[in-house]
Structure 1
């Protein structure tokens, strides 16, 4: 642990990890962090988040995600690290419930509640936690009012931190609620912003869902073009995300760590 804290342990290049993640190569990105994760709580958590995101997009790899998360939980040494691990625990439980692998709603709520209790209001981990609490409210509890409140807090925090990936998600989910409310202009703006940010940061694996969402609130000719491009990208990524390749599956709902 001391080696990791003083910087002498080998570290995977963050740009390489991001490049692999953004192209849907979650296992390869996680493999780069495997040795470092044994020494560094931050690397262990990043690796767990990668594998949880893989489970969301591929609908598989649950055992790998669980093992990586247990390592991150076991290596946490302070409230900030424990809160981040609890936030990831709540997210994994949420994703498993959303995709109907297991009903883990109670676990998701309890873990996110633990994370909230450990994080002060201005902590860097707050925006992601607020976003994930919004996901539970929107998609599992069916409470759009609570979801909107949580998403707005997350959106403000992501703007302050200049976290463009999280902003792409907060825009997306605020747009979804606007669409449900019949505010198609607001929904179109939010989905367009989400797409713009994903293209800006090169989050390639997340562009197809953004295109599909924008298509749902676009005029017919444009919508057809957006859906065709979304389908092309899903094919290019080998059928990922699975819920776009299989329309009956649940839609995309959440990001991993930025």
Structure 2
């Protein structure tokens, strides 16, 4: 993967997640700064009647759940609305992919065990989406997450992440690429291949900085710090990650806990 090229930006479904539509750009600015409720509110009028905005609104609210551990009811309501609007296999497959991700998130964060629902929904998405669908790379990625975190199957996870990475590269989906680099790197770290892990985490961080995905930069910094050889540089990266978490009001919550300074010893 080291030589995988990144295509030039090419619109809403391409390398620039902001898109060309003013609404999409406004949603991206809010989403990237952890203002998910505001982003969802902007999308609400069009999401009431259009499958695309309805699916994006679901994704925004599910992302909020992943980063904050809160907002599950709103995400579920948005998902049901998107499912009701889906009119063809691509839209139904996209909605099934979002259902799988929401069920995965609920299971991963210990809210409710929905692992079977997650697997079933992603299987349904695989049956509905055409081989060349722009949603296929995301589907591969999410199946990799289940293999990695719910099934404890590193080989299947790595294969799924690599398929997702190849598809995201071919379609210029740079935000997804930042996630595939991150998880391929995590698998390399797990297997003790630290040079590959450093490269992958570095690529993930670079892409997020270029896109201005502020809410995702702190996790990328912390992951890179964990595999850096230089203790001073690792400490600097963790300090920067902690600064960004404070800037965003303690988001993501799980990282805020990891980066919190140790409590002083009791007398």
Same fold (TM over 0.5): yes
1:221 maps to 232
1:197 maps to 207
| Alpha carbons 2:140, 2:164 under 8 Å: kept | yes
Which structure 2 residues correspond to residues 67-146 of structure 1 after superposition, within 5 A? Answer: 67-146=77-156
- Give the superposition deviation at 1:183: 0.3
Asked whether 1:238 is paired with 2:249, we answer yes
| Alpha carbons 1:12, 1:32 under 8 Å: kept | no
Q: What number of residue pairs does the alignment pair up?
A: 238
1:247 maps to 258
1:20 maps to 30
What SS is found at the alignment partner of 1:100?
Answer: coil
| Alpha carbons 1:176, 1:187 under 8 Å: kept | yes
Pairwise CA RMSD of aligned residues? 1.1
Q: Deviations over 1:106-158 (max 9, x none)?
A: 00000000000111222111000000000000011010100010000000010
Which structure 2 residues correspond to residues 26-41 of structure 1 after superposition, within 5 A? Answer: 26-41=36-51
TM-score by length of 2: 0.88
- Give the superposition deviation at 1:215: 0.3
- Give the superposition deviation at 1:13: 1.4
TM-score by length of 1: 0.91
120-129 vs 172-181, which deviates more? 120-129
In 2, the alpha carbon distance for the partners of 1:185 and 1:65 equals 38
- Give the superposition deviation at 1:12: 6.2
Unpaired segments ≥5 residues, structure 1: 1-10, 249-258
